[in-house]
Amino acid sequence: MANQRGNWTQPAARLYPHQWLWDSVFIAIGLAHYNVNRAAEELVSLERGQWSNGMVPHIIFSRSTTYWLSHFVKIPLPSGIATSGFTQPPLIAVGAAAVSKQLTGRRRTDFIRQMLPWLIRYHEWIYRERTVDESSLAVIIHPWESGMDNTPEYMRILNRHWPKEGDLALRKDIGYTASDQRPTDREAIHMLAQAKLAKECDFDGARLMRTSPFIVKDICFNSVLVAANAALVDLAQQVKFKLPRELTTRMSRTRESLATLWDNDTNFFYSYDVKNKRLLTGTATVAGFLPLFADAARRQQAKQLVQQLRDPTRFGSKFPAPSVARSYKHFSTTRYWTGPTWINMNWLICKGLEHYGFTREVEQIKTASLELVAGDGFREYYSPLTGYGLGAQSFSWTAALVIDWLHTQTPHRNA
């Protein structure tokens, strides 16, 4: 694997030459099938970026490469390692559970014991620093923390607050990838302004609650959190470790509260804008399917979601699932998170559909995804209509998740 850098893996050369949180988890899930020790290392390596308060950063910077985003997000730790001050969908415990399944006996328990203490501190940090009310739904302080950067409703929130013009001199991503496949200049200006604000506030959730225009209960982040909480409970049970009571109480509340992110008019899940106290129903995104991954949607809701996966005005397409609903006014087949199909989202949706027994739909998404890769290689994302490959080439999580699909059978359960 050309993207490996010792015990961690970069998402792609040039565009992403450092370690990203959820990329490493997807990568470990693939690696676990043919080099389980290396998969375990990939996850263990994330701990070196953990802050003393428990936060696990979305980027751990490699010493050997400079990066255009460093100026906005980079913070040196006392250990000498530099990280970003943001986090990402907290998928690590899910990866740890997948890796632990490929281990046996003492090696399994040792690995779980190595992962548990810092994962618990991470989940406790989420509940301590990133919840704002009784719902126990976590808030994100920047669109990057959703993993789906230029999500349309998020760009709308930032657009209302930040000036239209800004300094783009530092923007280097469009030097590596065609600019019509990346966020627009306006979106980039706003995301960088939001990052600057977060850095000025020392990435402190409480301070940002007062000053930031962007505080959101993100549906992807919270669905992943619910799945990761369940994985954490499972890992702890395997080594007979008792999780703190306060933590498990908060975990159950998050799971129950996902239901509040459902909209009865459109039969879909959305993120919630805490600052403006409203569900962001303006544009449905693929993240609305992820309560399936959390196994937290009701059966009837799951059926309604499946209908929208088939509906060509919503998420039905030759190569599902587009990152936003096709009815979106500025739907784009090429531009980053405003239309293209991403393999990690398809993988999460398939895992979710498996919980509900939608075997046929899982097979359809898998087959279409494998066709994308067979046609245009391990790309970062693809046109949902033509299958044309877009963004970075030799993209790590695309390769890793294809490996996972090729090694696992879809469990057959009745829908």
**Hey, which residues are catalytic here?**
149, 380
Using CB positions, name the residue nearest to ligand GLC: 11
Q: How far apart are CA 78 and CA 81, in angstroms?
A: 7
Least distance in angstroms from the C-beta of 93 to ligand GLC? 17
Least distance in angstroms from the C-beta of 72 to ligand GLC? 13
Sign of CA dihedral 189, 195, 198, 202: negative
Nearer Cβ to ligand GLC (148/155): 148
Least distance in angstroms from the C-beta of 285 to ligand GLC? 12
Percentage helix, strand, coil, to 5, in the chain?
50, 10, 40
Q: Which residues pair with 217 in a beta bridge?
A: 272
Kindly tell me the burial class for residue 139, based on how many C-beta atoms sit within 10 Å of its own C-beta (0-12, 13-18, 19 or more).
buried
Question: Coil, strand or helix: which one is 379?
Answer: coil
Least distance in angstroms from the C-beta of 59 to ligand GLC? 8
Nearer Cβ to ligand GLC (67/203): 67
Spatial CB neighbours of 254, under 8 Å, sequence gap ≥ 6:
135, 136, 137, 138, 222, 225, 226, 229
Nearer Cβ to ligand GLC (11/49): 11
Which residues would be at the binding site for ligand GLC (CB under 6 A)?
11, 16, 20, 22-23, 147-149
Q: How far apart are CA 229 and CA 235, in angstroms?
A: 10
Question: Coil, strand or helix: which one is 179?
Answer: helix
Nearer Cβ to ligand GLC (183/387): 183
Q: How far apart are CA 223 and CA 137, in angstroms?
A: 10
The DSSP code for 83 is E
Query: Phi first, then psi: what are they for 358, rounded to 5°?
Result: -85, 65
- Orientation of helix 219-238 relative to helix 245-257, angle to 10°: 140
Nearer Cβ to ligand GLC (301/389): 389
> What are the distances in angstroms from CA 220 to CA 90, 228, 367, 381?
10, 12, 24, 18
Q: How far apart are CA 175 and CA 228, in angstroms?
A: 36
Unique residue bearing structure tokens 């808030």: 139
Amino acid occupying residue 55: M
Least distance in angstroms from the C-beta of 149 to ligand GLC? 4
Least distance in angstroms from the C-beta of 99 to ligand GLC? 19
Angle of CA points 331, 371, 268, to nearest 5°: 40
What six digits make up the tokens of 355? 């919980």
Nearer Cβ to ligand GLC (22/378): 22
Least distance in angstroms from the C-beta of 155 to ligand GLC? 13
Nearer Cβ to ligand GLC (23/354): 23
Least distance in angstroms from the C-beta of 121 to ligand GLC? 22
Nearer Cβ to ligand GLC (301/333): 333
Asked whether 126 and 88 are in contact (CB, 8 A), the reply is no
